[in-house]
Amino acid sequence: MTLSTISFDFEFYPLLIVVAIAWFIPLSMSLLRITKIPTVIIEILAGFFIGKWLLGMYPSDSIILLDFLALTGFVFLMFLGGLEIDMGQIMASFPRRKIAYAKYIQNPLLVGTVYFIITIVTSYGFAWVLSHIVEVQNIWYFSLIMVTTSIGIILPVLKSRAEINTHFGQMIILASAIADILSIALFTVTAFILKNGLKLELAFLLLLPVLFLILYLIGKVFRNASAFKKITYQLSHAASQIRIRGTILLILVFVVLAQFIGKEVILLGAFMGGLLLSIFLHKDRSMLLVKLDGFGYGFFIPMFFIMVGVHFDPAALGEIDSSLLLFLGSLLVVMYIIKIFPSFLWMRLFGMKRAISGGFLMASRLSLIIAASTIGVEMGVISPAINSSFILMAVLTCLISPVIYNYMNPKSVHKSEKTIIVGGTSVGVLLARRLHLHDKSSVIIEKDESRFKDIKTKGLIVFKGDGADPDTYEQINLDPSNYVVVMTGDDQENIRICKMIRKEFSHEKLIARSGTKMIEQTLKNLNVETFDATRILANSIENLIILPTTYHALIESYDDFHIEELEMLNHEVDGLQVREVPLHGDGTIMMIKRGGNMYVPHGDTYLRLGDIINVFGTNAAIEDYRKKLS
């Protein structure tokens, strides 16, 4: 009787090498403070060297396992790519009525779609030109490879600059999301037709959208079922981890159906699984995303990029013969032109320099270009030499694009302190006084004569004018760095003012009160930050009941103690531990936000450039922290 059917005759050493490389690379890059180069680029380069010197001597079954893990990482990367796309934002951007050009140019979805169309037309033209330098088996598929972009590079760059929620950031994110979705769809359909011909089997591709719709409807039913919510919450922790298991099941349902249609459809299936889950996560997204990121980026995804390096064959470039340098140089230039040219669509809103910088960032390419190129090689529509060229281009664009973007679109270190408060209500007056305590200037806009005079007697800066009149903001010199807080006391008036400021000035930093869910959604569609006064009041009462001593201490002593949000910009402090920085004794660091993660710091916590640091302390302590960190 056999007690176990598990074979122990497997060579783990190659897996150890790859896992060790995946662990060592981000650690060493952090210690050496290498922040400008994406980790995946170093992983590809490391994979090339270990493939050449360490893995060549091992049996093929060990390498086959690594290839399987790499493919799993590739599938997981496509899934997380779909998960990164905010479907709610895309749906909210759909125009609900006939719109004029002025409205169209401010709509990220419409501009992003036109951006993609211009990109693909331009790409096809240049692909035809490049076909006269080297042999291109299929010009259309070649052009599809060039239109891909990398939201995985774009998002970290925008996050590090706090531009994710700006109008400019949303324009770039939606344009890259549309490029991802349409690129995957187009090269999947193209690959299917090239392999099987234009046959009735092409209709099988519709099975994926049908599955998407069915699972979406099922998800809507179960999402609101209290019994299902209760059991998933109970099983989401400890050994069960039911949400993680359900996510893996969701990926495999799409992947298996895609595999049934054709292996070139697998990546589209994984991507659609991510899109589906993105619809349902919303505010519950963070915890599950942390786990999925750990699961994917902690093991499977590094496998993929390292194995891309292992299989990279520079000798294949020799097939291009004497025209190699001309082709590589032309390909790099073309890959930038096809992304920069349509970026002029953004020029009216953001100016030429900023628009072009966005085009350079959109030229970043990584996972999708490798996916499309790999599938093309397997089908024989591109040569191994061109495949190696595209991998090389992916590495170069990921290195070059973020640097050029940051150079052309420098982040302002000295921000204007002025906050514009529309409406001289009691809350607006109190906000102005509180901002004054933080040494931040503010301007209150008030149209009522008696209220204007009353505010002026309080020693506050107030401007008599109509918050709905564009001339008012011209007169007070509205700057893009200024926050505009709209709280007139009338929700509909707040919406009208926010719409006007968006339309006339394309201003991004807007805050307004939301009285109802409908008002909140309307304001969010305008990309306005909202606050719910009722919820804030309930939270204050809750703190008064649960934490009365702390609440009174904070409320009654706000003249002496403050909370400040600082951005870490001091290069001399970058990489130091908190205990190594001589900070003022009457203050403390409460929390550090780095990327999408929040940390409660300790003495051994390292400080990094771009960290958002929440500080609590006296005026003197806050000023000391500001000097040493910002």
What are the pLDDT digits (tens) for 238-277?
A: 555 777 888 888 888 988 888 888 776 787 788 888 888 8
Residue predicted with more confidence, 152 or 12: 12
Q: Which amino acid is it at 384? A: P
Buried b (16+ CB within 10 A) or exposed e, 535-558: eeeeeeeeeeeeeeeebeeeeeee
CA pair distance 123, 113, nearest whole angstrom: 15
CA pair distance 593, 386, nearest whole angstrom: 42
When pLDDT is cut at 50, 70 and 90, the band that residue 431 belongs to is: confident
DSSP string across 216-253: HHHHHHHHT-HHHHHHHHHTSSTTT-HHHHHHHHHHHH
Residue predicted with more confidence, 491 or 282: 491
CA pair distance 65, 74, nearest whole angstrom: 14
4 pLDDT more than 60: no
Mean pLDDT of 452-470: 85
Render pLDDT for 393-420 as a digit per residue (tens, 0 to 9): 888 888 888 888 888 877 543 345 688 9
Q: What is the 3-state secondary structure (H, E, C) of 441-491?
A: CEEEEECCHHHHHHHHHCCCCEEECCCCCHHHHHHCCCCCCCEEEECCCCH
When pLDDT is cut at 50, 70 and 90, the band that residue 284 belongs to is: very low
Percentage of the chain modeled with pLDDT above 70 = 81
Quote the pLDDT of residue 320: 65
**Among the ranges given (32-41, 409-418, 488-497, 600-609), the one the predictor scored with the smallest mean pLDDT:** 409-418
When pLDDT is cut at 50, 70 and 90, the band that residue 545 belongs to is: confident
Question: What is the three-class DSSP state of 618?
Answer: strand
Mean pLDDT of 57-77: 80
Mean pLDDT of 334-341: 94
Quote the pLDDT of residue 125: 94
* Structure token pair of residue 437: 């305590």
Quote the pLDDT of residue 423: 87
553 pLDDT more than 80: no
369 pLDDT more than 50: yes
CA pair distance 613, 625, nearest whole angstrom: 10
Q: Which of 612, 595, 69 is nearest to 307 (CA)?
A: 69
CA pair distance 414, 479, nearest whole angstrom: 13
Query: Strands 561-567 and 529-531: what pairing?
Result: unpaired
Question: What is the three-class DSSP state of 4?
Answer: coil
Render pLDDT for 147-190 as a digit per residue (tens, 0 to 9): 988 776 786 677 666 676 667 877 887 788 788 778 878 888 88
Q: Which domains, and CATH codes, for the chain?
A: 14-408 (1.20.1530.20), 419-539 (3.40.50.720), 560-629 (3.30.70.1450)
In eight-state DSSP terms, residue 606 is B
Mean pLDDT of 301-322: 77
Quote the pLDDT of residue 394: 84
Mean pLDDT of 333-362: 90
Residue predicted with more confidence, 241 or 354: 354
33 pLDDT more than 80: no
Question: What is the three-class DSSP state of 218?
Answer: helix
Render pLDDT for 84-135 as a digit per residue (tens, 0 to 9): 776 666 666 666 566 666 666 777 778 888 999 999 999 999 999 988 888 8
**Mean residue pLDDT across the chain:** 79
When pLDDT is cut at 50, 70 and 90, the band that residue 360 belongs to is: very high
Quote the pLDDT of residue 160: 61
438 pLDDT more than 70: no
User: How many helical (H) and strand (E) elements, i.e. helices and strands, does the chain have?
Assistant: 28, 10
Quote the pLDDT of residue 124: 93
Q: What is the 3-state secondary structure (H, E, C) of 387-447?
A: HHHHHHHHHHHHHHHHHHHHHHCCCCCCCCCCEEEECCCHHHHHHHHHHHHCCCCEEEEEC
Render pLDDT for 480-537 as a digit per residue (tens, 0 to 9): 778 899 988 788 888 899 888 888 777 878 998 877 788 888 888 888 888 777 777 7
In eight-state DSSP terms, residue 565 is E
610 pLDDT more than 90: no
Question: What is the three-class DSSP state of 577?
Answer: strand
Quote the pLDDT of residue 67: 85
Mean pLDDT of 76-84: 79
Mean pLDDT of 10-31: 86
CA pair distance 594, 159, nearest whole angstrom: 9
Q: How many C-beta atoms lie closer than 10 Å to residue 414's C-beta? A: 7
Cβ atoms of 291 and 244 closer than 8 Å: yes
Residue predicted with more confidence, 375 or 3: 375
In eight-state DSSP terms, residue 364 is -
